[in-house]
């Protein structure tokens, strides 16, 4: 809508400049107000997540890679850019930690390396990652072998969502990131903790998830002594 308003103002200015209209009406066209927190996070259920993971062909190199990538997104809520930037040095096998550097908030986060994620990465490293001197973790599966880009991460995620028959607006990596956040909300973690976990730059970035605290909102709506019909 903002683009439509801008185009309309330019068109009206053109008409006025060419003397096709007597008054410059461009200044009367106002852009629609953009309000914060108007959209709901586009998460999916955990059952849908399992459907997506079960649909990955882990026998193929691309399947081994994508399975590890999907687990990283849904377990840690990583952005596509953060996954594309991962290197071999980001995994501290001795301490069982995953290090995510250069986050949007400008800091590095150290996560406990879950057994499932670790096993998926090992499977990829042993049987699917191409032989290369690059320290990047994830690569394209066809020659010339280049590090996986953030765009490819998002596109592959969208492909697996479609393959599983899951329809969400703007399917991509953020779908699983929002799903990770939803799991934390359901577990009743404070919004500050969730924001730190997801690497948000400010508390305002996490506020949108307050809209999906379903049980808390139900309690507010019902009041004391009322029940769900």
Write out the catalytic residue numbers: 79, 104, 174, 177, 200, 209
The whole-number pLDDT of residue 187 equals 79
Crossing angle (nearest 10°) for helices 115-127 and 61-76:
160
Q: What predicted TM-score, i.e. pTM, was given to this entire model?
A: 0.72
Residue 218 CA to residue 195 CA, distance in Å, equals 23
- 118 Ramachandran zone, left/alpha/beta (phi>0; psi -120 to 50): alpha
pLDDT digits (tens, 9 = 90+) for 31-55: 665 554 445 457 888 899 999 999 9
Residue 72 CA to residue 69 CA, distance in Å, equals 5
- For 97, phi then psi, to 5°, come to -130, 150
Range among 67-71, 101-105, 219-223 with highest mean pLDDT value: 67-71
The whole-number pLDDT of residue 215 equals 47
| pLDDT over 50 (residue 16) | yes
Residue 185 CA to residue 209 CA, distance in Å, equals 7
What number of other Cβ atoms are within 10 A of residue 189's Cβ? 15
The whole-number pLDDT of residue 37 equals 42
User: Which residues on adjacent β-strands are paired with residue 111?
Assistant: 98
Question: Who wins on pLDDT, 190 or 181?
Answer: 181
Question: Who wins on pLDDT, 2 or 181?
Answer: 181
- For 174, residues 6+ apart whose C-beta sits below 8 A from its C-beta are 42, 79, 80, 154
The whole-number pLDDT of residue 123 equals 97
pLDDT category of residue 128 using cuts at 50, 70 and 90: very high
CB burial of 32-47 (b: ≥16 within 10 Å; e: otherwise) equals eeeeeeeeebbbbeee
The whole-number pLDDT of residue 95 equals 94
């Amino acid at each position: 809508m903002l683009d439509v308003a801008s185009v309309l103002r330019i068109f009206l200015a053109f008409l006025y400049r060419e003397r096709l209209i007597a008054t410059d009406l461009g200044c009367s066209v106002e852009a629609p107000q953009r309000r914060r927190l108007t959209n709901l996070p586009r998460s999916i259920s955990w059952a849908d997540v399992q459907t997506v993971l079960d649909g990955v062909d882990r026998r193929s190199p691309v399947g081994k890679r994508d399975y590890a990538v999907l687990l990283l997104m849904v377990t840690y809520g990583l952005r596509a850019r953060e996954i594309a930037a991962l290197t071999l040095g980001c995994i501290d096998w001795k301490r069982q930690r995953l290090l995510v550097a250069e986050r949007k908030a400008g800091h590095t986060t150290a996560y406990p390396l879950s057994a499932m994620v670790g096993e998926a990465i090992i499977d990829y490293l042993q049987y699917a990652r191409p032989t290369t001197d690059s320290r990047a973790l994830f690569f394209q599966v066809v020659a010339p072998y280049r590090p996986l880009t953030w765009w490819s991460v998002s596109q592959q995620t969208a492909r697996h969502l479609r393959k599983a028959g899951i329809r969400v607006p703007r399917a991509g990596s953020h779908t699983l990131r929002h799903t990770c956040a939803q799991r934390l909300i359901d577990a009743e973690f404070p919004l500050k903790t969730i924001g730190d976990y997801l690497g948000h730059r400010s508390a305002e970035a996490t506020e949108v998830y307050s809209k999906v605290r379903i049980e808390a909102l139900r309690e507010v709506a019902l009041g004391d002594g009322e029940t769900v019909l």
